[in-house]
């Protein structure tokens, strides 16, 4: 059942596992047909037990993990598989619960991170102080890493109350390879610490990956301004510069709508359609991977960008629901088509509508 597939997917993501969702499609023509089945597979399972899988399909799935972009894999004129890579919501790990950490937690939550805050002081490490955080840990900075178990998709920000604690956090963070490491401190303090780490045997090239002093140079002074500079740099590394999840450093974080995924797991008496952007080019409001649900009674959840284009897709979904099939629609946001609808975008999207 579709519900069970999405439940398993959601469970994997909560546990921090990278997973793929395969939608097997039987075509009546290049843009219409029926959904045969859906299959969920974790990246770990794919790598550890792929003996029963077609090697070519395995290769295609791994390529989506490397790029972060969904891919419509055509096996024949009548059959294709939509491969969607899913990654756990990236964690913004804030080490230190002081004045900068508070607005940084809020900003990190608003831009889509799962925020974890750690400090060794109960008055600073508590849920009341950080209501937007998914987890607040009160623990010694040396021991907290046993709990954190850093991942490659983590973004680590070191903003403790003292140089010594910063050093403890940096040394432990360097044992892993998170997507981003940033450490607060004056240029002099940072220079002194880096010299000390070189003496301890740390590799210069590895240390060069640490963003310190942290944040974009915008003349920030107040805690809120400093938090803005930090989250801007983090976003830059996540979106524009790629992450270590990709060998070619051009990894694209796929759009992810947790509420939509969770809603699919809930049984509905009213028929509905799932809408997914499966490819996008140019300047579009939402990228490949974005989803929304449209019910036959007109309700919606999620978004593929809003405006007239989304409304048109929602209207087309009615026929898809009634005919229990899928349809792939082309959305043009360029040139005259965009001007006619008053759009400020300039790109195209391929959108899958499927009855669920």
Determine the average pLDDT of the residues in 98-115.
Answer: 95
Q: Which residue has the higher pLDDT, 214 or 17?
A: 214
Task: Supply the pLDDT for residue 245.
Answer: 44
Please write the tens of the pLDDT for every residue from 269-322. Answer: 999 999 999 998 888 888 888 999 999 999 999 999 888 889 999 999 999 999
> Residues near 29 by Cβ (< 8 Å), separated by ≥ 6?
none
Percent of the chain with pLDDT over 90: 65
Give ∠ CA 270-276-280 in degrees, rounded to 5: 160
Give the C-alpha separation, 37 to 24, whole Å. 5
Least confident of 7-11, 200-204, 332-336, 341-345: 341-345
> What confidence tier does 250 reach under pLDDT thresholds 50, 70, 90?
low
Nearest in space to 278 (alpha carbons), one of 70, 85, 40: 70
Task: Supply the pLDDT for residue 341.
Answer: 52
Q: Which residue has the higher pLDDT, 306 or 227?
A: 227
Percent of the chain with pLDDT over 70: 92
* β-bridge mates for residue 259, sequence order: none
Residues of each domain in the chain carrying CATH 3.40.50.720: 91-240
Give the domain 91-240 fold.
Answer: Rossmann fold (3.40.50)
pLDDT at residue 185 tops 70: yes
Task: Supply the pLDDT for residue 244.
Answer: 43
Task: Supply the pLDDT for residue 283.
Answer: 80
Q: Indicate the average pLDDT of the chain.
A: 89
Give the C-alpha separation, 295 to 299, whole Å. 5
């Amino acid at each position: 059942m579709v519900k069970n597939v999405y439940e398993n997917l959601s469970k994997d993501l909560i546990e921090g596992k990278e997973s793929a969702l395969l939608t097997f499609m039987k075509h009546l023509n290049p843009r219409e047909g029926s959904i045969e089945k859906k299959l969920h597979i974790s990246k770990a399972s794919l790598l550890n037990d792929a003996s029963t899988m077609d090697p070519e399909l395995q290769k295609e799935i791994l390529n989506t993990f490397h790029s972060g972009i969904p891919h419509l894999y055509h096996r024949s004129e009548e059959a294709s598989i939509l491969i969607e890579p899913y990654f756990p919501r990236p964690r913004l790990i804030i080490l230190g619960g002081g004045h900068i950490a508070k607005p940084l937690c809020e900003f990190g939550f608003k831009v889509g991170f799962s925020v974890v805050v750690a400090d060794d002081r109960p008055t600073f490490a508590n849920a009341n102080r950080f209501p937007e955080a998914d987890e607040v840990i009160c623990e010694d900075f040396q021991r907290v890493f046993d709990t954190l178990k850093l991942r490659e998709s983590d973004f680590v920000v070191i903003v403790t109350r003292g140089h010594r604690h910063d050093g403890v956090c940096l040394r432990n963070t360097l044992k892993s390879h998170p997507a981003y490491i940033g450490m607060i401190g004056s240029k002099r303090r940072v220079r002194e610490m880096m010299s000390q780490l070189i003496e301890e045997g740390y590799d210069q090239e590895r240390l060069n990956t640490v963003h310190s002093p942290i944040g974009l140079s915008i003349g920030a002074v107040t805690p809120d301004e400093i938090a803005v500079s930090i989250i801007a740099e983090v976003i830059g590394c996540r979106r524009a510069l790629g992450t270590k999840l990709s060998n070619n450093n051009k990894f694209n974080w796929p759009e992810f709508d947790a509420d939509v995924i969770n809603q699919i797991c809930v049984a509905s008496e009213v028929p509905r359609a799932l809408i997914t952007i499966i490819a996008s080019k140019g300047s579009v409001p939402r990228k490949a991977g974005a989803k929304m649900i449209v019910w036959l009674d007109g309700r919606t959840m999620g978004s593929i960008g809003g405006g007239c284009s989304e409304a048109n897709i929602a209207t087309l979904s009615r026929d898809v629901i009634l005919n229990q099939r899928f349809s792939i629609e082309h959305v043009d946001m360029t040139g005259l088509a965009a001007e006619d609808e008053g759009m400020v975008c300039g790109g195209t999207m391929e959108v899958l509508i499927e009855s669920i």
